Amino acid sequence: MLRKTLMSMLFVFCGFAATAEQVVIAALGDSLTQGYGLPEQDGFVPQLDRWLKEQGADVNLINAGVSGDTTAGGAARVAWTLTPDVDGLIVSLGGNDLLRGIDPAVARANIEAIVKTAAESDVDVLLVGLQAPGNYGADYKTAFDAIYPDLAELYQTGYAPSFFTGLSAENDPEAVRTFMQPDGIHPNAEGVARIVENLGPLVLDLVAVAGQ
C-alpha cells in the first residue's frame, strides 16, 4: 500500500531498518459479523482470526459488526471505523436491508459509499455478497443480487459471492438448517466454522494485498 511504502522509504531515509508490520483488518458488518447468539469465541471474527493465524498470517482482526445494522448504518460509521492503522476492510452488509425490503438502489448507493471511503483511505476491500430471496419479485432479486459483483468489478475489490457459501456442498436447504441457530437466520458455531473455511482463503488474499 502507498502509505506503507512511504513509511518504509522514510525509515530508510532516516537510517533505520524497516520491519514488517502486523496487518490490521476490520470486519464491517451486521449481526452475522458481530456473532449474534453465540459465545464470543464462537463468533465469526474470533473463528476467522484463529483460522488466519493457523495459516501463519500476522494479522489483527477487528470486529466492527453491529447487530441490526443496515447498509446505511455501515456507510454512516465506516469513516471512523477506518482508523489510520486499518489496512484492509471486509464488508458484509445487506441482510437487514433485505429483511426490511429496502430499495436495492439505496443499498447499492450505501455499499458504494463504503467502498469509496475505503479507497480514499487507501484501504483494500473484500466485498462479501448476499442474494435476495424470491418473495420480493424477480426484478428486486435481480437488482439486489447484482450490487456486489458490479461494485467489486467497478472498484476492483476482492469479492466473495455469498457469506453463506459452504454451509451445504449440495445446496440443500434442509441440510443448511443443521448449521443454523433456531431463528433460521444466524449460523451456529459449526456453521460459522464452515463459513470461515470458505471465506478464509479470500481473507488471506486480502491480508496479502493489504500488507504490501
Domain borders along the chain are 23-210
Task: Please provide the average confidence, as pLDDT, over all residues in the chain.
Answer: 89
23-210, superfamily in CATH? Answer: SGNH hydrolase (3.40.50.1110)
**Residue with the larger pLDDT of the pair 8 and 198:** 198
What is the reported pLDDT for 11?
32
Cβ–Cβ under 8 Å, residues 20 and 58: yes
CA atoms within 13 A of residue 186's CA, in its CB half-sphere: 20
Distances (CA, A) of 152 to 149, 186, 198, 201, 202: 5, 25, 18, 17, 13
- DSSP conformational letter for 44: H
Q: What is the pLDDT of residues 29-80, one digit of tens each?
A: 999 999 999 999 999 999 999 999 999 999 999 999 999 999 999 999 999 9
Q: What is the pLDDT of residues 78-131, one digit of tens each?
A: 999 999 999 999 999 999 999 999 999 999 999 999 999 999 999 999 999 999
**Residue with the larger pLDDT of the pair 4 and 206:** 206
What is the reported pLDDT for 169?
53
pTM over 0.85: yes
